[in-house]
Amino acid sequence: MNRFLLITFGCMALLACNNSQKSGPTTGEPGSIFFTEFDTPFGTPPFDRIEFADYRPAFLAGMKEQTAEIEAIANNTEAPTFENTIVALDNSGRLLSRVSRVFFGLKSAETNDSIQALAEELSPLLSEHNDNIYLNEKLFNRIKTIHDDTTGLNLTTEQYRLMDEYYKSFVRSGIMLQETGKERLREINKQLSALTLKFGNNLLKETNNYQLVIDNEADLAGLPEGVIAAAANAAKAAGEEGKWVFGLQKPSWLPFLQYSQKRELREKLYKAMYMRGDNDNENDNKKIINDIVNLRIEKAQLLGYDTHADFVLEENMAKTPENVYKLLNEVWAYALAQAKKEAAELQKLIDAEGGNFKLASWDWWYYAEKLRQQKYALNEEELKPYFKMENVREGVFTVANKLYGLNFKKLDNIPVYHPEVEVYEVTDADGSHLAIFYTDYFPRPGKNAGAWMSSFRGQQVLDGKNIRPLVYNVGNFTRPTETTPSLLTLDEVETVFHEFGHALHGMLSNVTYAGLSGTSVPRDFVELPSQIMEHWAFQPEVLKLYARHYQTGEVIP
């Protein structure tokens, strides 16, 4: 449970540095807006006042402040106790956490060249700061004293878990190594941090740099009207008005592969998508991947593990690579047979149409859609009108209300980092405040692919007050067009429910300590709440609650 590393490198909070949003004044010197808790409704980030110039000084001040806090704990002359060591450690770094949760969200949802450059500058500093904490022998000795003899401490189950998690984090961070090993580990961590950033930056550039521009209407054969309209909007935004543009965001490339009759264009778009980072250009990731793999192996072996997988899985439910392979092989036997059966069916369809070619990966979606219509008379385009994005979100809220008694109220007084973001207050059945929930659902050039949940602030009890979380969901779902609202595919509907399951995990957190809050659980267990939630999406009784035609209001048949 390396909480500081997770916060500084893994936070996926969101913000914007769009100057048009800076409607209010900043508070004094650069960075000072982060120096205290935000004086805003529910303590939400004041996106209308945060400037890009605030981040660097806030990070530096945050690291300096936490360093002083750590030194005070490590050099405390009193005997180590749970309160003066474990709790003090858990509560340290609040300024650094505050700025990290905001800044690193930008790296995920609204990045630009300045943000990426600053992240690269901060990367070695944050890596060193994290190592300075987890390789601090005085601090570890205090933790070890508590860990090795809990007699008479009367720790609760939660307190024991927190103490044990910190102890394991120090051990897994290399505190037991000799000095030469620690120095090498520090260098490995710095390199891994920089390489991981570079990998993500390259991937985003590859995603944004590619466009399939169509200027011949005949090349749109087979595409639904909504897909064509979205491509026309994309072309207009790209300065190609009168043409059609398809890119590597999922709502663009997937329906093209699913419906386009132009096999050569399907192949072109497919290869552009799946060859990202493998084009022998300035964004190539092959060497970066090789370096990351080798550094991970070296780090794992330095820490006494055979492989990186052994190191990672030790803290997950699976525990060992052997257990993972056992499960995968059990699934593989059935999955491979089914995949071969489906491939044979698709090949028959190709042959029946006179196609003189063997099924390729860029054909799969197209012929699977045809087969689905033939066998089941199921056309996903006919289903999408029943899944207007706003209705799907309302369906998610309704399920949460019926299952857990939660209520959602839209707020218009909370600063947001982008006009498309919406904010809700979440209250319990008795009306008490539980959380703030942000939604950000549409693709943008500065946003990573995929969908995720995280928080601008985690839940914990501090000074006797239950600090409630600020949780958000981010996605890349089908945009509205000039003539239709956002109409989601079945996959997108399932993803909305899935990510909301993660959001519930954060919203309903009710622990004392930040280090155990929300989704601070094994990485394979973290998918359980989301899997449970997504299974409600297409239950008949649930569909009746939200799946209504956006024009007629008719419930899905």
Task: Give the separation between CA 121 and CA 107, rounded to whole angstroms.
Answer: 13
Rounded to 10 deg, the angle between the 55-74 and 113-134 helix axes is: 0
Task: Give the separation between CA 501 and CA 471, rounded to whole angstroms.
Answer: 12
Compute the radius of gyration of the chain from its Cα atoms: 25
Residue 110 catalytic?
no
pLDDT at 1: 56
pLDDT at 8: 46
Point out the least confidently predicted range of 25-29, 213-217, 275-279, 402-406.
Answer: 25-29
Q: Convert the pLDDT of each residue in 425-452 to its tens digit.
A: 999 999 999 999 999 999 999 999 999 9
pLDDT at 107: 87
Largest CA distance in the chain: 84
DSSP string across 331-362? HHHHHHHHHHHHHHHHHHHHHHTT--S---GG
Query: Dihedral through CA 238, CA 478, CA 10, CA 14, nearest 10?
Result: 70
Residue 19 has pLDDT above 70, yes or no: no
Nearest alpha-carbon partner for 87 in 98, 76, 101: 76
Backbone angles phi, psi at 359, to 5 degrees: -50, 125
Residues 6+ apart with CB under 8 A from 329: none
Task: Give the separation between CA 62 and CA 68, rounded to whole angstroms.
Answer: 10
Residue 127 has pLDDT above 80, yes or no: yes
pLDDT at 20: 32
Averaged pLDDT for residues 14-28: 39
Give the distance, in angstroms, between the CA of residue 486 and the centroid of all CA atoms in the same chain: 22
Measured CA distances, 408 to 251, 426, 431, 550 (Å):
28, 5, 10, 22
Q: Which of 110, 206, 499, 534 is catalytic?
A: 499
Task: Give the separation between CA 81 and CA 474, rounded to whole angstroms.
Answer: 40
Task: Give the separation between CA 422 and CA 393, rounded to whole angstroms.
Answer: 11
Averaged pLDDT for residues 315-323: 96
Rounded to 10 deg, the angle between the 113-134 and 179-209 helix axes is: 160
Residue 403 has pLDDT above 80, yes or no: yes
Residues 6+ apart with CB under 8 A from 271: 362
Rounded to 10 deg, the angle between the 364-376 and 250-259 helix axes is: 60
Nearest alpha-carbon partner for 484 in 251, 226, 249: 226
pLDDT at 287: 98
Instruction: Identify the residue with better confidence: 379 or 471.
Output: 471
pLDDT at 240: 97
Q: Which of 1-5, 13-17, 44-48, 375-379 has the highest mean pLDDT?
A: 44-48
Q: What angle do CA 425, 455, 50 make, to 5 degrees?
A: 90
Task: Give the separation between CA 453 and CA 526, rounded to whole angstroms.
Answer: 11
Mean pLDDT, the chain, rounded, equals 94
Q: Convert the pLDDT of each residue in 62-115 to its tens digit.
A: 999 999 999 999 999 999 999 999 999 999 999 999 999 999 988 899 999 999
Residue 15 has pLDDT above 50, yes or no: no
Residue 44 has pLDDT above 80, yes or no: yes
Averaged pLDDT for residues 134-150: 97
Task: Give the separation between CA 144 and CA 166, rounded to whole angstroms.
Answer: 10
Q: Which helix H or strand E contains 88, and what residues bound it? A: helix 88-91
24 pLDDT band (50/70/90 cuts)?
A: very low
